[in-house]
Amino acid sequence: MQQAVRSAQNQWLPPPMDVVKINFDGATSPKKKKAGIGVVVRDVNGLVLASCAKIKHEPYKAVEIESLVAATTLSLTTDLGFQRVILERDSMEVIQALRENTQPLTPTGLPLEDVRRFSQNFDELLFSHTKRDGNIVAHSLAKYALSIPDFLV
């Protein structure tokens, strides 16, 4: 397994051949006490191989939902059987946390530990940072998730 961070791009760029790129995002609605998760898996041609939107009926803070989204993303990816993966997010803070091997004493610690556990299932796992425009599909799915009853794949 190899981990790396790429520099931020303004638009979505395809992964290399035989690798899937997974963009993920979270959205919160403190007023409604809900959070949404959005994940999209694409290949070298930009073809969507899988996507999901999931609602969480709890008032997560932004940093908490972002860590939970990462764990949910890797769980889904493991279930789908992809082995060579780039995880891409528009939060550099989350990407850096995913790369570090420390155990934070924060509410995000448990989801990040789940991420580390799931990370062992891949032949290649890279972490990439993009700007919001490069993550717009996952962001839209996360916002959409705030209006669904449960989980859509």
Q: Cα–Cα distance between 8 and 86 in angstroms, integer?
A: 14
Q: pTM of the full predicted structure? A: 0.84
Digit-coded pLDDT (tens) for 29-49: 988 899 999 999 999 999 999
Task: Give domain status of residue 12, yes or no.
Answer: no
Full residue range of the structural domain in which residue 127 is found: 20-152
Answer yes or no: are the C-beta atoms of 108 and 97 closer than 8 Å: yes
The predicted pLDDT at position 144 comes to 94
Domain containing 57 — which CATH number? 3.30.420.10
The answer for 100, left when phi > 0, alpha when psi is -120 to 50, beta otherwise, is: beta
Long-range contact set of residues 57-60: C-beta below 8 Å, sequence gap at least 24? 57/33, 58/33, 58/34, 59/28, 59/30, 59/33, 59/34, 59/35, 60/26, 60/28, 60/35
Closest by CA to 112, choosing from 100, 125, 128, 129, is: 100
Q: 36: which 2 tokens?
A: 């949404």
Q: Is residue 37, in this structure, part of any structural domain at all?
A: yes
Q: Please indicate, yes or no, if residue 60 is contained in any of the structural domains.
A: yes
The tally of domains found in the chain comes to 1
In the chain, % of residues over pLDDT 90: 42
What pLDDT was estimated at residue 43?
97
Higher pLDDT, 118 or 82: 82
Specify if 124 maps to a domain.
Answer: yes
Query: Do the domain assignments include residue 6?
Result: no
Which of 38-42, 70-74, 91-95 bottoms out in mean pLDDT, i.e. has the lowest? 91-95
Residue 56 lies in a domain: yes
- With respect to residue 11, please indicate whether it lies within any of the assigned structural domains: no
Query: Is residue 34, in this structure, part of any structural domain at all?
Result: yes
Q: Is 47 helix (H, G, I), strand (E, B) or coil?
A: coil
**Nearest CA among 39, 62, 43, 35 for reference residue 152:** 39
